[in-house]
Structure 1
Amino acid sequence: MRKASRLFEIIQILRLARQPVTAAMIAERLEVTIRSIYRDIAALQAMRVPIEGGRGIGYILRPGFDLPPLMFSIEEMEAIVLSLALLERTGDDELKQAAKRVSSKIAGAVPPPLRQTFDTNALHAWGFAAPSAGAIDLALVRRAIRDEEKLDLSYRDEAGRITQRITRPIALIYYAESANIVAWCELRHAIRNFRSDRIEACRATGLHFKGEGDRLRQIWVDGWETPAAVG
């Protein structure tokens, strides 16, 4: 276990303990030497984490201290960094900007031992990045899914024919080449996938399907064993 992860785990152990915890108990739980725990405790105290106690009597975390709202282990931080990098490969401009803001907020909230995950710039998501969605605003689609609001789509099929669809969007799937809107199509009376690069226009209708989203998603999931129809 790396030092940054140990420091986090030590704080968690002390925060949840109802009585003093000895270095030996912490060392056994984290599978490291007692000497390492003594050094880690000293490092945390130097960072002004209010740990009290000493060798032989155990350690406690002073009442009133708590972890910041955003506190993660080093592995969790690496997962977040890579996930945010993967968002750069989508065609969702709003999500890409949100990812940058999230990265800045987390980097400013976590303590120095964990901040190195952001500072080292060692994790990357490589490969083809999807183009912007073009005629459709994926942020509008995500809001419609959350609010269970119907969308009016002008959709072009494989043959180039354009039809008007009133849809009940229930999910959004990001692929390398495009995004797919999963929705109940009122024209086809079935679940359909709509490729973002074939949508000529999209608008919110102001009409809602409140309370139906979960049921429609279950219908979609139940049909995963058969190929999903497009358009």
Structure 2
Amino acid sequence: MSRSARLFEIIQLLRNADRPILAREIAAALEISIRTVYRDIASLQAMQTPILGEPGVGYVMRKGYDLPPINLDVEEAEAISVGLSLIARTGDPGLWRSAGRAARKLHEAAPGTRRLPTSAWGIERCATVNLSEVRQAIRSEKKMAIKYCDVEGRETKRTIWPLFLIYYVDAGLIVAWCELREALRHFRLDRIARSSIQSDDFVGLGGPLVEKWEETQMAGVLPTREL
């Protein structure tokens, strides 16, 4: 565990405690030495973190202390967004409601994360598509070239404008505007033989297409086996 992560965990332990915590308890929880705990507490106090107490007595955090904002990079925000969606798997309504509130806050701070909806179960990893590349194309509104095999086994080469990446129970899908069909289409990841980001973009044109798809599709369930 890095020092910064360790300091963060100590703050979390103290914020969530309802009584003074001894150094040996912190050491046991984080699997570190008591001497390291004393050193970390001293460092936090030197940084004006309102930790009260002393060795042998225990430590408490002054009420009302909030952690500073956490700066996330784009992929970290996307990972959290997908993880919050997957909390539905727990079957815990209260946890799901809390995850929904957290997701809304995250979406306000990083609007692109709302384009990564999930179902309650997972799918097999797709070896032919670089999902980081797909998410990059969605964020930057870059066109993609794909080689696609439909349900009847016909292969076509397409240029698409990727709008959403959806993690459904039995398949992952890219929702995109298809230049070949001149319409919104859903492409199963496991039927894409090859994909690449193109230099051409559709900047400024994705928003209306996103709204159109949400109006017509988000209320229903897509029959992924038929796509």
Q: TM-score, normalised by structure 1?
A: 0.49
- Which structure has the bigger radius of gyration? 1
Name the TM-score, length of structure 2 as normaliser.
0.49
